[in-house]
Amino acid sequence: MIGFLRTLLSRGEPMLADATARDAGAIAALHAASFRRGWSEQEVEGLLVDRGVVAQRVVVGRTFAGFIMSRLAADEAEILSVAVARNCQGRGLARQLLNLHLRRLAGLGVRTVFLEVDEHNAPAIKLYGRAGFREVSRRANYYPHPGGQTAAALVLRRDIG
Ligand SMILES: CC(C)(COP(=O)(O)OP(=O)(O)OC[C@H]1O[C@@H](n2cnc3c(N)ncnc32)[C@H](O)[C@@H]1OP(=O)(O)O)[C@@H](O)C(=O)NCCC(=O)NCCS
């Protein structure tokens, strides 16, 4: 029943926009639902008011459906996080967020974008591969997995300048 209601509320046109400090609670909640190590609302708010951080969000109907966030350093940026709510995945929202984000970064003079992704994160690897990111290095045993397993982090890069 709850799943049905969530799906109903998440219908409609996706509305993409720059994220502001008012999105901190929704981003923290989505981050906590998406990653093993959560960010507190205060941490997210601190990032959103940081002039060196760029973030966009997408809302569908009444659902906060996703966000993407990068930190800038000179003409480089690192994507810190991207997540789409589970009931909104597989509809191209991450692709739209990433496209808008890369346009914003390019507009700010960024020439190279980096990120780290778990070698087993198939949706994210597909998303970034399609957007032109290429693997430049690999950090072994970087992400802890349940049962004492670990996974490598792939470091991906895309030039946009
Ligand atoms: C990664 C994530 C943001 C993708 O969001 P999304 O809105 O579902 O992605 P899109 O619909 O734009 O699809 C992007 C690509 O991933 C593929 N994909 C989506 N879900 C998939 C799945 N479960 N398995 C394999 N590929 C998948 C899509 O087919 C698409 O590839 P295509 O263009 O070749 O068809 C989402 O899965 C997520 O929030 N995951 C948890 C957080 C996370 O891991 N973030 C990335 C950290 S680096």
Identify the CATH number of the domain in which residue 129 sits: 3.40.630.30
Strands 14-18 and 112-118, by their bridges, are unpaired
pLDDT tens for residues 38-86? 899 999 999 999 999 999 999 999 999 999 999 999 999 999 999 999 9
Q: Give residues (CB < 6 A) around ligand 1.
A: 34, 82-84, 89-95, 117, 121-124, 126-127, 130
pTM, entire model: 0.93
The best mutation among 127, 133, 157 to test binding of ligand 1, ranked by most ligand atoms within 8 Å of the C-beta, falls on: 127
Q: 32 with 39: CB under 8 angstroms?
A: yes
- Total domains in the fold of the chain: 1
Q: Take residue 3 and report the two structure tokens written for it.
A: 């799943």
Q: What is the mean pLDDT of residues 109-128?
A: 98
Rg over CA atoms, the chain: 16
pLDDT score of 25 more than 80: yes
Residue 2 has what pLDDT?
A: 64
Domain that holds residue 112: 2-159
Which has the closest alpha carbon to 69: 45, 47, 36?
Answer: 47
Q: Take residue 150 and report the two structure tokens written for it.
A: 């670990």
Residue 72 has what pLDDT?
A: 98
